[in-house]
Chains A and B, each alone.
Chain A
């Protein structure tokens, strides 16, 4: 019985409940619907955390498994959902106010897909889960029908997402052709100790291409800034964090934890990962420098972060895998609060231009301090959490002997500090704001940002809790085959 109380089922049920509630209750009394959504998502987060402590469980005939990796990432995705719901209810919808319930409910379905993805260990399951995520996101990105930018974002996401799905399906088809199966365990048992066939390599290459779109890695990154800028901010946050993390979870599952951590495959993909990582870090960092719109800025910052994680992933070792897990959590904790802020900035000022930060340090010292800590954490400055994350990237690269990656990573970390200091400078340097807004930031925002800043400091100074999380994710039994290296 308890196996049905899993996050995926509950998420779908909640989504359906929200839509039904919207249809059933009379028009005047819908005010409590957003609150219900926040409440339910928080409860779901609690349940997910509780569930992730449960013993391992396989379900639906080996399609899904609860292992270390999924138990670390399901709470991650549901936490994203809580954040998204929290800001979705405040997103100004204009004429689309009547369909707010759908706007709130769709992320629940998308998150269900993400949770399935974290557990999937069959390529068919992965495909289905990924489509559940993606289709909800196409709708959400274009949700603001009256804004051209939103429509454009939806369109771009749809085309690019469709293209990436095409690559993925093609890859899965080739995989089936080359190995006769789509299930991780079977494939790895069959391929262990054999040289990889060209068909298998092509298949994995195609799958990697499909996933590179999801994580916005160079050269498949071009959609990200436009889509991030145009999509409603809650959805941008979801895309930038949850969707990107999903891509990495799959990469971890496929290339890290067993399934394709075969030497016969690894020696080809290791240099590809590292080259992609170097290109992604460099482009993300350099292209972020001239950005003046905070959403585009965060898009490029996200690309740079993806590059760092690709570098760590490219070492194809256990420490690289753990590093990516820790880095994703650090990324979530530092980036989400900034997105929450960006939405409030848009509400108050009408756009997410960096110019609107001028003088914030004096007007609103609380949010300014929290933002500063988050930005510095993203830049990887000690003693903040981001430093521990970057440190473990550098350590991984050093111990794997990947000196080119290390050198580029270090240089780009310096350049990166340069662009993370831009908003900080805007907030504290003595420049007067061009327009003092009539509205003030809501007090909950102050508290969230201060809390987030404090989390950066505390976890940075004592990263033990995160280390525990990483260790748990590193104890997977996907295939029963011992880890390599």
Chain B
């Protein structure tokens, strides 16, 4: 049996779920089944990647002398493998957290599944056309998710986020066009694997590389909420319903970093070096400015939004460190942050459901009233501030070591970033969890998470946070050869 068929299967299974829901199947159950079943092809392809290093699906790469040389091709290697699993797991957890009794449940679960498909497709695509398209597919479902099922200033947040992301994507698109156009016509293709080889043999001229790197940085940077292109993120996450925020902050944000790893670093190495001081400034902005801003937040969702955008700074530090260690750390932190952000938003969603508010001053006594929820709140908070044993710590420490020789000053700033995020998160936990039980929690008929049916999404994310934190080699092992190749001149 040809296992490479499992790659398109990863996209087909959730799409079948979408069709089934559209035709009237029970929304939550179908979505949940589809996302669980999708783990099976996930395991299959992972086996192949672990054994052979990569797996590909699609027609042979040919130089199409066509107006529009697009070929549908999928691929997976050690770099995209952890992100594939991040997507699969967060999708399962997000749908697990989503309530079946939400209004217009059909469209709700349909949109959630589509967001997941977009993430999967983007991480699996080898052809730049589909790579870009799959990410864009997500915009409309998330526009609707925030607009219809969101809270707070949902209309404003939905518009802002969608238009901002489209602007970023189009800048990115121009960058991609530039990349493809830098290839001589005899070898023109949209396959980034081929492009990598081509440019390795025959690099792009240095000035052009700089321009392309800037376009890619601004484009992908907007998607990752790099300062000053971040303002869509905190509000968007705060207004999104919990499952949408989990998918967006947990998975989709990683697309930008993945793109930079895949394209900017290997294809425009000189340009990336040239612009790395700009990246340094921007990431310092993320760490300090957004760190301070997160201190000022009074709403737990907004706090999570800011802190999630802030941690992108640390990941970028890994990207400009120029060492395999730093890149590996960035990869681990991407996964760790994805899991912890998802857990954080899931908890915030539950708290919001129970108390009717996420204003921290109106909350209190969560630890007494709902101990299980409090436990997962602690895990999410501790992971996010980088407690050893959890995934984020492994990532951060690798990044700090990896970037030390090139950017000691930025590492110092990142350490301050850790302090800021600790202060913000601990204050939040104090005001939510400790003290007397608040009137908001008291008044409502609020139980704890009950039974395995409600707990499992949280437990799943927690278990993985520990797993990655204790054995980061699960990620680093398969990724190492790919990352080393990225840095080879």
Tell me if B40 counts as interface (CB < 8 A to partner A). Answer: no
User: Which residues of A lie under 8 Å from residue B72 when comparing CB positions?
Assistant: 461-462
Q: A362-B104, A425-B147 are in contact. Are A414 and B170 (CB under 8 A)?
A: yes
| A-B CB contact pairs (8 Å), 16 listed | A326-B67, A362-B104, A381-B166, A382-B136, A391-B173, A391-B177, A394-B177, A398-B178, A417-B163, A417-B166, A421-B143, A424-B140, A428-B107, A428-B147, A470-B67, A471-B66
User: Which residues of A lie under 8 Å from residue B140 when comparing CB positions?
Assistant: 372, 376, 381, 424
Nearest CB in chain A: distance from B173 CB, A: 7
Question: Which residue of B104, B134, B177 contacts A395 across the interface (Cβ within 8 Å)?
Answer: B177
Instruction: Give chain A's interface secondary structure class.
Output: helix
B466-479 toward A: CB 8 Å interface, digit per residue (1/0)? 00000000000000
User: Which residues of B lie under 8 Å from residue A326 when comparing CB positions?
Assistant: 67
Residues B181 and A414 in contact, CB atoms below 8 Å apart: no
B171-183 toward A: CB 8 Å interface, digit per residue (1/0)? 1011001100100
The residue of chain A having its C-beta at the shortest distance from the C-beta of B144 within the complex is A428
User: Which residues of A lie under 8 Å from residue B130 when comparing CB positions?
Assistant: 383
Cα(A387)–Cα(B132), bound, Å:
11
Residues B70 and A418 in contact, CB atoms below 8 Å apart: no
Identify the interface centre among B72, B148, B173: most chain A CB within 10 Å of its CB: B173
Cα(A157)–Cα(B173), bound, Å:
39
Question: Which residue of A388, A417, A429, A467 contacts B147 across the interface (Cβ within 8 Å)?
Answer: A429
Question: Which residue of B66, B107, B132, B162 contacts A417 across the interface (Cβ within 8 Å)?
Answer: B162
A-B pairs, 7 with minimum CB distance = A382-B133, A383-B133, A382-B136, A410-B170, A414-B167, A398-B177, A467-B68
Tell me if B293 counts as interface (CB < 8 A to partner A). Answer: no
Residues A421 and B162 in contact, CB atoms below 8 Å apart: yes
Q: A381-B139, A470-B67 are in contact. Are A387 and B133 (CB under 8 A)?
A: yes
Residues of B in contact with A (beta carbons under 8 Å apart)? 66-68, 70, 72, 103-104, 107, 129-130, 132-134, 136-137, 139-140, 143-144, 147-148, 155, 159, 162-163, 166-167, 170-171, 173-174, 177-178, 181
* A contacts with B, residue count (CB < 8 A): 39
User: Which residues of A lie under 8 Å from residue B70 when comparing CB positions?
Assistant: 463
Tell me if A322 counts as interface (CB < 8 A to partner B). Answer: yes
The residue of chain B having its C-beta at the shortest distance from the C-beta of A417 within the complex is B166
The residue of chain A having its C-beta at the shortest distance from the C-beta of B133 within the complex is A382
Identify the interface centre among A319, A376, A428, A461: most chain B CB within 10 Å of its CB: A428
Residues B174 and A418 in contact, CB atoms below 8 Å apart: no
Residues A471 and B139 in contact, CB atoms below 8 Å apart: no
Tell me if A392 counts as interface (CB < 8 A to partner B). Answer: yes
Identify the interface centre among B66, B103, B133, B137: most chain A CB within 10 Å of its CB: B133
Question: Which residue of B67, B133, B181 contacts A322 across the interface (Cβ within 8 Å)?
Answer: B67
User: Which residues of B lie under 8 Å from residue A418 when comparing CB positions?
Assistant: 159, 163
Tell me if A235 counts as interface (CB < 8 A to partner B). Answer: no
Identify the interface centre among B139, B159, B167, B170: most chain A CB within 10 Å of its CB: B170
User: Which residues of A lie under 8 Å from residue B139 when comparing CB positions?
Assistant: 381
Nearest CB in chain A: distance from B464 CB, A: 31
Tell me if A197 counts as interface (CB < 8 A to partner B). Answer: no
User: Which residues of B lie under 8 Å from residue A430 when comparing CB positions?
Assistant: 103, 148
Nearest CB in chain B: distance from A388 CB, A: 7
Tell me if A406 counts as interface (CB < 8 A to partner B). Answer: yes
Nearest CB in chain B: distance from A381 CB, A: 6
CB neighbors of B among A220-264 (8 A): none
CB neighbors of B among A170-216 (8 A): none
User: Which residues of A lie under 8 Å from residue B155 when comparing CB positions?
Assistant: 429
Q: A398-B181, A428-B148 are in contact. Are A392 and B67 (CB under 8 A)?
A: yes
Cα(A184)–Cα(B70), bound, Å:
36
Identify the interface centre among B67, B70, B144: most chain A CB within 10 Å of its CB: B67
A448-470 toward B: CB 8 Å interface, digit per residue (1/0)? 00000000000011110001001
Tell me if A399 counts as interface (CB < 8 A to partner B). Answer: yes
Q: A414-B163, A425-B147, A428-B148 are in contact. Are A381 and B136 (CB under 8 A)?
A: yes
Cα(A410)–Cα(B133), bound, Å:
16
Nearest CB in chain B: distance from A404 CB, A: 13
Cα(A414)–Cα(B139), bound, Å:
12
Residues B148 and A410 in contact, CB atoms below 8 Å apart: no
Residues of A in contact with B (beta carbons under 8 Å apart)? 319, 322, 326, 361-362, 372, 376, 381-383, 387-388, 391-392, 394-395, 398-399, 406, 410-411, 413-414, 417-418, 421, 424-425, 428-430, 460-463, 467, 470-471, 474
User: Which residues of B lie under 8 Å from residue A398 when comparing CB positions?
Assistant: 174, 177-178, 181
Residues A382 and B174 in contact, CB atoms below 8 Å apart: no
Question: Which residue of A410, A429, A467 contacts B171 across the interface (Cβ within 8 Å)?
Answer: A410
Residues B181 and A395 in contact, CB atoms below 8 Å apart: yes
Q: A381-B136, A398-B177, A410-B171 are in contact. Are A463 and B68 (CB under 8 A)?
A: yes
Given contacts A410-B173, A425-B147, 5 further A-B contacts (CB under 8 A): A391-B177, A395-B181, A417-B162, A424-B140, A467-B67
User: Which residues of A lie under 8 Å from residue B133 when comparing CB positions?
Assistant: 382-383, 387, 460
User: Which residues of B lie under 8 Å from residue A322 when comparing CB positions?
Assistant: 67
Cα(A414)–Cα(B219), bound, Å:
13
Residues A429 and B173 in contact, CB atoms below 8 Å apart: no
The residue of chain B having its C-beta at the shortest distance from the C-beta of A406 within the complex is B174
Cα(A457)–Cα(B155), bound, Å:
27
Cα(A362)–Cα(B107), bound, Å:
10
User: Which residues of A lie under 8 Å from residue B132 when comparing CB positions?
Assistant: 382
Nearest CB in chain A: distance from B210 CB, A: 15
User: Which residues of A lie under 8 Å from residue B174 when comparing CB positions?
Assistant: 394, 398, 406, 410
Cα(A421)–Cα(B161), bound, Å:
13
Cα(A240)–Cα(B75), bound, Å:
43
The residue of chain B having its C-beta at the shortest distance from the C-beta of A466 within the complex is B68
Cα(A319)–Cα(B68), bound, Å:
10
Cα(A399)–Cα(B425), bound, Å:
49
The residue of chain B having its C-beta at the shortest distance from the C-beta of A387 within the complex is B133
User: Which residues of B lie under 8 Å from residue A376 when comparing CB positions?
Assistant: 140
Residues A467 and B66 in contact, CB atoms below 8 Å apart: yes
The residue of chain B having its C-beta at the shortest distance from the C-beta of A409 within the complex is B170
Q: A382-B137, A462-B72 are in contact. Are A394 and B67 (CB under 8 A)?
A: no
Cα(A322)–Cα(B66), bound, Å:
11
Question: Which residue of B107, B173, B181 contacts A399 across the interface (Cβ within 8 Å)?
Answer: B181
Question: Which residue of B134, B136, B166, B173 contacts A394 across the interface (Cβ within 8 Å)?
Answer: B173
Cα(A391)–Cα(B67), bound, Å:
11
Residues A388 and B104 in contact, CB atoms below 8 Å apart: no
Residues A429 and B163 in contact, CB atoms below 8 Å apart: no
Nearest CB in chain A: distance from B280 CB, A: 27
Cα(A471)–Cα(B68), bound, Å:
10
Nearest CB in chain A: distance from B273 CB, A: 24
User: Which residues of B lie under 8 Å from residue A381 when comparing CB positions?
Assistant: 136, 139-140, 166
User: Which residues of A lie under 8 Å from residue B159 when comparing CB positions?
Assistant: 418, 421
Cα(A463)–Cα(B72), bound, Å:
11
Cα(A424)–Cα(B148), bound, Å:
12
User: Which residues of B lie under 8 Å from residue A362 when comparing CB positions?
Assistant: 104
Question: Which residue of A388, A413, A429, A471 contacts B170 across the interface (Cβ within 8 Å)?
Answer: A413
Nearest CB in chain B: distance from A327 CB, A: 12
The residue of chain B having its C-beta at the shortest distance from the C-beta of A361 within the complex is B107
The residue of chain A having its C-beta at the shortest distance from the C-beta of B69 within the complex is A467
Nearest CB in chain A: distance from B51 CB, A: 31
The residue of chain B having its C-beta at the shortest distance from the C-beta of A372 within the complex is B140
Cα(A20)–Cα(B166), bound, Å:
55
The residue of chain A having its C-beta at the shortest distance from the C-beta of B178 within the complex is A398
Nearest CB in chain B: distance from A62 CB, A: 30
Question: Which residue of A319, A372, A429 contacts B67 across the interface (Cβ within 8 Å)?
Answer: A319
Nearest CB in chain B: distance from A458 CB, A: 12
The residue of chain A having its C-beta at the shortest distance from the C-beta of B106 within the complex is A365
User: Which residues of A lie under 8 Å from residue B134 when comparing CB positions?
Assistant: 382-383
Nearest CB in chain B: distance from A409 CB, A: 9
Cα(A461)–Cα(B129), bound, Å:
9
Cα(A225)–Cα(B177), bound, Å:
34
User: Which residues of B lie under 8 Å from residue A391 when comparing CB positions?
Assistant: 129, 173, 177
Nearest CB in chain B: distance from A247 CB, A: 23
Cα(A328)–Cα(B147), bound, Å:
33
Nearest CB in chain B: distance from A230 CB, A: 32
